[in-house]
Structure 1
Amino acid sequence: MPRIIVKAGYMKSGKHRSTYTKYIATRDGVELHTASYAHLDSTKKQNELIQDLIHDFPSSKELIEYSDYIENPCRGNASELIKTIFDTNLEAVLQRDNYVEYIAKRPRVEKLGEHGLFSMADNSIDLNQVADEVKEHAGIVWTMIVSIKREDATRLGYDCAENWKQCCRSKAIEMANSLRINPNNLKWFGAFHNESHHPHI
């Protein structure tokens, strides 16, 4: 049975979030090391950053990537953990207007044109318009992350954006009901990030 990890965060309106923004923007140390270096021991810089992140986001100890890093603290696992902690805590890190652009254009997003955003309809999505809508929305904006291990994603066909998109579309009503949103008021966007260990949307 595949292990699916779901993280449900949210952003309230009017809050300013800037912690780690410079780090995320430059992505220094977050990118996966090449395969020839991924197996080497994690670097001092990675270990220090992971300690800081765990201090600020203690629930990160529940992540699959944290278990992988503890069992084998190599550069590849450290990179995966750092990226996942950022991804699962973006609502605390980025301002709303930066959030949409980040998920649409971040490394390893499967692009569907100029960016990786998809939604209920097949029409072209204007990234700037979506970012403005999210920024100006007076209510809560939910920030859901659904992650699965690579071997399960490959086996079940969730290693491409198209299958994730179809799954989200088929579950939109359930998603709205579980979040207590009138389905007529639900507006959602997603992007598939094809990470080596844990592909996710």
Structure 2
Amino acid sequence: MMKVAVLAALAGSAAAFAPAQQSIRTSSAVSATEAQKDFFGLTSSGMDFSKELGVQPPLGFFDPLGLLKDGDQSTFDDLREKEIKHGRVAMLAVVGYLTTAAGIRFPGAEGIPDGLASWQALLDTRDGMNVLMQMVAFFVVAEIVNRDADWLDNKAEFVGDYRNGALDFGWDKLSAETKMKKRAIELNNGRAAMMGIWGLVTHEIIGESILPGGYLPGH
């Protein structure tokens, strides 16, 4: 059953392993076979995504569902933005899952269980409803803040850049090579986190602990 879950996770996150933002037209793309196009990251429109950020060994350009087969740069950018967002959410999810499994709670949420059992508790208890309202408020603020503010006199440096001229933390002082390296690190951490939270939840569902001491959240 675990193998099936892993295969499903790989299929479901296939788009996450497609790459980030730069395109060229090549004459060879016109004459390439469909198999060659799929392998090298060439689309039917002649777009080449094989040099994008995130294309790396051992998978290289990985798009088994063909989401970019007929795609253009805007299609790619849309998928990349979704990948980055899901990766960031997954990183928070893994940290939150492990933190609550360790017994750590915010004040007022001491009675909320960990794991998937927490969702029902949010609806069944007064403390749970307070936590739920705080979560909803956080989600609303995060959705507003974490997007490119096109109404400002500001231009995003890359897909997923939501600084909007307000935050920097020394980013603009970094070299182009260092920026690419840090973006790749975030991308890979997000991919790992998506698989990580999937694995944690799957193991909880099947009742097999992978945490120290054999602890199983929600049980």
Is the TM value for this pair above 0.5?
no
Q: TM-score, normalised by structure 1?
A: 0.28
* Bigger share in helix: 2
* Structure number with higher relative contact order (C-alpha < 8 Å, ≥ 6 residues apart): 1
Q: TM-score, normalised by structure 2?
A: 0.27
Q: Which structure has greater strand proportion?
A: 1
